[in-house]
Structures are given as C-alpha cells and as structure tokens.
Amino acid sequence: MRKIEDPKWYVYTRDDNPGFSGIVEDAERVDNVARVFPVFFMLVSLLVCLTSMTRMVEERRTEIGTLKALGYSDSSIALKYFSYAASASIIGSLIGSFIGVLTLPDIIVRTYNIMYILPPPRLVISWVGVILSTLLGLVCTCAVATFACLGELRLNQAVLMRPKAPRPGKRILLEYIRPVWSHMNFTSKVSARNLFRYKARFLMTVLGVAGCTALIIGGCGLKDSISLVADRQFGEITKYDQIFALTKDKDLEDGNTLVSEFREDDRFSTVLLSDIKKCHAFKGEAAYRNDMSIIIPAEKEGFDNIFTLRHRSDHSPVKFDDDSFIITERLAEVLGVKAGDEITFTVGDDSYKAIITDITENYANNYIYMMPSKYETITGRSCSFNVIYTQLTEKGKEEDRQIADKWMKNDDIMTVMLIREQVEQIENSLQSLDVITLVLVVCAGILAMVVLYNLTNINIAERVREIATIKVLGFYDLETANYIYRENIILTLTGAAVGVPLGTVFSRFIVQAIQMDMVMFPLYVSVYSYLLGVILTILFSLAVNFIMYFKMRKISMVESLKSIE
C-alpha cells in the first residue's frame, strides 16, 4: 500500500450535513411563525367573545330583573352567566386544541416530506400551550360576562324588567356638511345615522374586520418576504455562479497560476481567487456561537463583479479597500454593534480584535470582508487561498454542469458548488411555507366570517322591530336586506382600509420575529398580497350577507305590532 504523506484530516459533525442543518432551519422558521400568529388570532377571537358575552347579558336583562324580583342574590345571578362563559370557553378551547393538534402538525410534516425523508411523525402535545390558551380565553370571557352582568345588576328590578330604552337620536357630523347631506337619499341618510349612532358596534366591526384583513396580509407578506431572500442574495448581493474548492491552500503565486488557467476558458467572465476562513465573532465576553466566514479576496480587481457591498437603506456602495473591515448587517444586529465598534473574532484557537469600518447588506449567512493586507495586519499571518469564485458568461451558464465536470478532473480542484443548485434548494425549501401561508389565510378567513356573522347577527337581533316595521311599510325582502347590508358593506370596506396599514405593521413584526441568527428577511409585501387581503375580506362579508338574508326573510311583520312591555 502506498504510504500517504502528510495526511489532512477533516472532522465533520452532523451540523455540517446539509440535510440535517436544512431541516433544523426549516423547523426554526415554523417555530418562529407559531410563536407570533396565535397571539393575533387570540386578540381577534377575544374581540368576538367580548361582543357576544356583552350582547348576551343585555338580551337577558328582563330575565335578570325577574330573578332579582324573585329574591335571588346578585352573586347567584352573576354566577349563572359566569358558569355559562366558563363552560363555553373550556369546551371551545378543548375542541380547538383537539382539531389543531390532530390537523396542523400533520399538514406541516407532510409538506416537508416532499423535501426530506422523515420517520413517521410522533404526536407531541404542547400541554403548556393548550393550558395557557385555555386559561387566557377563560379569564377574558368570564371577566367580560361578569362585568357586563354586574353593570346590569346595579339597576333595580323595575328598570331591568322593561326593555332597554333606545338611544336618543342626535345629529351626526355629516349632517353639518350641507352640500353632501342634501344630496343623499333617504336610505343613505338612515344608514349614515345608524353607523354613527351605534358607535360600539361600529368600532367592534371595524376592528374585527381590520384584524382579519391584517392577518391575511401578514400571512401573504410573510411568504413575499421569505421568497425574496434568494433573489436578493444570489441575484444582487453575491453574483458568482460557481465556487471551486481547492485541494490544498495555495500562496498568491501558485493561486494566480491556477487562475490564469481558468481565464483561458472563455466561458468564465470573472475569476476571483479568495480565502474563506471559518470563525466565530464576539463582543466583550458574549460569544456568537453560529459559524460564520471571513472572505479575503486575493485582489480588488473583479471583486465588485462577484460581490456587491452596499447599505440596505439607500443602496449606496460600501467602501472596500486595504483598510476595510466590513461585517454583514445581521451579524451586526446579533452582536449589537455598529461601525466604529470593536469586535473579537476567532480563527482556529486564536482570537483577534478589529474595528468595524462599515456594515453591508446581506441576507443568507454572515460574513466578514477584508483584504489580505488587513488580515496580515490584524493576525500577523500571511494569507493562503483555498477557493476560486467564478462568474459565467451566458453561454457558460447553459453549460455550468459540464464546466464543473471538466474542472473536477483537475488535481487542484477538490469540489465544485453550483449556485444555481443552491438557489433551487432554497426555493424548494421556501415552497413548504406555501402550505403554512395557506393554513394561516384559511384560518384568518374563517375567523373573519365568524366575526362578521357574529356582529351582523347582533345587528339584526337589536333591530328586529325596526326591520319588521320597514317591511310593514312595504319594503320588499331584497330592499330590506339592502337596508342592513349597506351598513355592513360600509363597515367591511372601512375595516379593510384600516387593515391594510395594520397588515403592513403586522408583516414587519412577523418578519422581525422569525429572523434567525444566520438569515435576515427583507420586509416586502406585494400589491397582490394587499389586494388578496381586501378581496377575501369582501368575499367573506358577502358570504355572511347571503347567509343572513334568509334569517331576515323569516322576521315576521307582526313583531312591529307587539307591545314593548
């Protein structure tokens, strides 16, 4: 057996396996999304509970007055509604937890089975999450029911046993704008008065619809932002097409000899000899544990063709010369540093200190950029080069695999990485978020329908006598429906308009919440996402109006003739 001279050992952990590291990153993305969205879903659902419980207590004021007249204490009456709210909250939480645990994890795991070979999923129930969400819903619904009930119990029996007096009519602001008010027809004036007369219902509907629109826009905006990473990183920031790893480190002279051979191939437009060193970065005593890389180009010529160093805010270029020590933006955020601060970085077992000269835009992984002279000044060591970045011509891009196979036969080349394949892998990984986005949009849509149905039902229940009266006056069923629906449509459009900027804020919050130490997501919400959020909200509103139409048809005109006593 031929003796191997000066062997070089490479020790890899499972974190170096692309499959393992990829699924870990994907799991972290899903985990970050799961931490954010339930909070907003809970806020909107609590709004529904607030409206429902308040309305339920108000509808039972006659019953509450009767119970008081029969001698029941205030605490025993309040306990009845408290028990109802508690039982409804617990049952709803248990049903929701059961459905969520059995469906959502399975959908997400099946989606990732497209990219990974995974063992059969083992169902693990997060009892902490189930208990916390149940307790939160329980506390909120019971508190609302109790306070609403106590508000009614402060009145005496005689007042409670009579229907609640209607609110006195007042002039609205629109009436003072005479040119507008005088040109409005009768039904438009009635609708305008009703909208501003019931301010609580107006506010609840607008906030509920706005929250659902924001959830839909937030889910779509999340997909837009994550999908932009590959385009920004590998289309604008790093523009190389191939990375050739050398079998052994070379000095500048030997490296330039190999570069000359590359440049003889007319399918390469740019060839850049560089050194990549794995390292860790620190500020003070706190360690930044994730791996990062130092990129040291052999020369400045051709560097700008391979890398774009710029500020994210205005895309102004970052100065890169022999004195530069530049770090990426996400690394600066994690370390909490800015230009002019000092950081410590380690190469192997040795640590070095350097002053940051500037911060550059970057989205995938973290890097430090410096020239060989700067590296030698900081470390006292000369550079040796281990990779070659190449940029291909249009003809070369069509033959990138053949070019890689040809150069792999060269004894100086150890491996070749095609950026095209890496981009495809990232895009395939991000496609799994389509299902998550779809689940979020569907859930937000269902929540929107619940909100609109609940508020529309309350609106109709409060105005049964009014609706019956206008039917007596000769309104047809469709005219009666339009009388109510006009207000719903205005409230829906107002809520959707409020939800658009709220969705932008929500998207920004989500994108910042799901960022990882090695990845920065740009905030981007497409016009399509805004339109989808508004259009879906309007469609959900129309669906609710269609459902409630049949309920209004059943309202008897005799209701208008009944005594209020």
Q: What is the pLDDT of residue 1?
A: 47
The stretch 396-417 carries a mean pLDDT of: 86
- Going by C-alpha positions, the residue among 153, 13, 24, 134 that lies closest to residue 79 is 153
Q: Is a pLDDT exceeding 90 seen at residue 219? A: no
Q: Which two tokens stand for residue 164?
A: 């609640």
28-42, 95-109, 252-266, 408-422: the lowest-pLDDT one: 28-42
Average pLDDT for 423-442: 72
Answer whether residue 91 shows pLDDT above 50.
yes
Report the predicted TM-score, pTM, of the whole model to 2 decimal places.
0.74
Least confident span in 76-80, 117-121, 276-280, 475-479: 117-121
Secondary structure (3-state) at 275: strand
What confidence category does residue 5 fall into, taking pLDDT thresholds of 50, 70 and 90?
A: low
| pLDDT beyond 60 at 468 | yes
Distance CA 474, CA 481 (A): 13
Mean pLDDT of 258-280: 88
CB 277 within 8 A of CB 385: no
Q: Return the percent helix, strand and coil in the chain, to nearest 5.
A: 60, 15, 25
- In this model, does residue 437 exceed pLDDT 70? yes
The pLDDT value given to residue 530: 92
Question: How many angstroms separate the Cα of 411 from the Cα of each of 82, 247, 257, 267, 546?
Answer: 79, 7, 14, 20, 73
Euclidean distance between CA atoms 465 and 562, whole angstroms? 9
Residue 259's contacts (CB-CB under 8 Å, 6 or more residues apart) are 271, 273, 298, 388
Domain regions of the chain by residue span: 13-165, 198-244+419-565, 252-383
The length of the chain, given as a count of residues: 565
Find out whether 488 and 202 touch, Cβ atoms under 8 Å. Answer: no
The three-point CA angle 148-152-154 to 5° equals: 120
